[in-house]
Amino acid sequence: MADPMRIRAVSKDGVVNVKMLMSHEMETGLRKDSSGKPVPAHFIQSVSVTWQGKVVLSAQWGPAVSKNPFLEFNFKGGKKGDKVEVTWTDNKGEKRTDEATIN
Amino acid sequence: MVQTRRDVLRAGGGASVLALLAAVGLVMPGAALAADWNKRAFEGKTLSDAFKGLGAGVPANSADIIMRAPDIAENGAVVPIGIESKIPGTESIALLIEKNPNPLAAAFDIPAGTETMVSMRVKMGETSSVYALVKANGKYYVAKKEIKVTLGGCGA
């Protein structure tokens, strides 16, 4: 199982700024290891962020997203104390969900 | 041997299912796991393939898309890029790197209530034009920026 994400959600003037850092290799499938064998692709394909059961951002990613992906965006309506939930799914079907409380 | 229609269908059906499974398994294990992943767009090898896969065709240039990115990226493995769309009715934002093996890097759906701006970090194999593609009211718009890469991000 992958390591937890680091998620920070801060509310200011009715807008919530969400920053997250996921822990993932984001292997492209194009690299070769020291013995010359290709390293199989392993990368996050979809990310979804929800607040009160409503999707506030959804993304599809390819392997060009950097290792240990960073993502930042803003949404309206969230209040301090609300929870923001982030889920990613990778190309091997692994999943991880973490949540953060809005500050 | 008398072959009924049913037998033929059964045999044919079984074989094609197996072939399909093998093909899927060989090409990309787990492709079925993220069913909504736009395989065609992400595996497109040219910019126009990726645009087609996204349904964008030939997008119109727009000055209302702002890309925040360095002119020169010292490390191609981590290039910070922010995209903001000032086009009303923006529904989605995608990031494409022309000279990467597969240009499409990321595609975001922006629901109402979410600001039309995302920031992220991507890999770039070499110096390339980077495109921000925005879908607004069913139409596609694009903005372009050249980013020079000193050290490629593919062997890193």
Nearest Cβ partner for B154 among A28, A58, A77: A28
Residue B25, pLDDT above cutoff 50: no
Please check whether residues B16 and B59 belong to one and the same domain.
no
What is the C-alpha to C-alpha distance for residues A11 and A83, in angstroms, rounded to an integer?
Answer: 12
In this prediction, residue A15 carries a pLDDT of: 95
Could you tell me if A52 lies within 8 Å of chain B, comparing CB atoms? Answer: no
Domain count, chain B: 2
Residue B156 falls inside a structural domain: no
Predicted confidence band of residue B83 (pLDDT cuts 50, 70, 90): very high
Range of B105's domain? 39-151
The 8-class DSSP code of residue A42 comes to B
- Residues of chain A in contact with residue B133, where contact means CB-CB under 8 angstroms, are none
**Rounded to 5, what percent of chain A is helix, strand, coil?**
0, 55, 45
Please check whether residues B24 and B59 belong to one and the same domain.
no
Residue A6 distance to chain B (closest CA, Å): 15
- Region of B130 on the Ramachandran plot (φ > 0 left; ψ -120 to 50 alpha; else beta): beta
Give the mean model confidence (pLDDT) for residues A64-68.
95
Rounded to two decimals, the ipTM of the complex is 0.92
Please check whether residues B31 and B99 belong to one and the same domain.
no
Residue A21 distance to chain B (closest CA, Å): 10
In this prediction, residue A33 carries a pLDDT of: 85
What is the C-alpha to C-alpha distance for residues A93 and A87, in angstroms, rounded to an integer?
Answer: 12
Instruction: Give residue-wise pLDDT tens across range B84-135.
Output: 999 999 999 999 999 999 999 999 999 999 999 999 999 999 999 999 999 9
Residue A73, pLDDT above cutoff 90: yes
- Residues of chain B in contact with residue A94, where contact means CB-CB under 8 angstroms, are none
Residue B24 distance to chain A (closest CA, Å): 13
Give the mean model confidence (pLDDT) for residues A3-19.
94
Nearest to A71 by CA among A83, A82, A84, A54: A84
Please check whether residues B63 and B25 belong to one and the same domain.
no
Please check whether residues B102 and B133 belong to one and the same domain.
yes
Q: Is A60 in Cβ contact with B107 (below 8 Å)?
A: yes
Average pLDDT over chain B reads: 82
| Residue B105's CATH number | 2.60.40.2470
All structural domains of chain A with their residue ranges: 6-101
Nearest to A45 by CA among B112, B26, B28: B28
Instruction: Please tell me which residue, B56 or B13, carries the higher pLDDT value.
Output: B56
- In chain B, what percentage of residues exceed pLDDT 70? 74
Query: Domain A6-101 adopts which CATH fold?
Result: Immunoglobulin-like (2.60.40)
In this prediction, residue A70 carries a pLDDT of: 97
Nearest Cβ partner for A93 among B33, B108, B113: B33
The half-sphere exposure of B90 on its side-chain side, counting CA atoms within 13 A, is 28
Can you say how many angstroms the Cα of residue A85 is from the centroid of all Cα atoms in its chain? Answer: 10
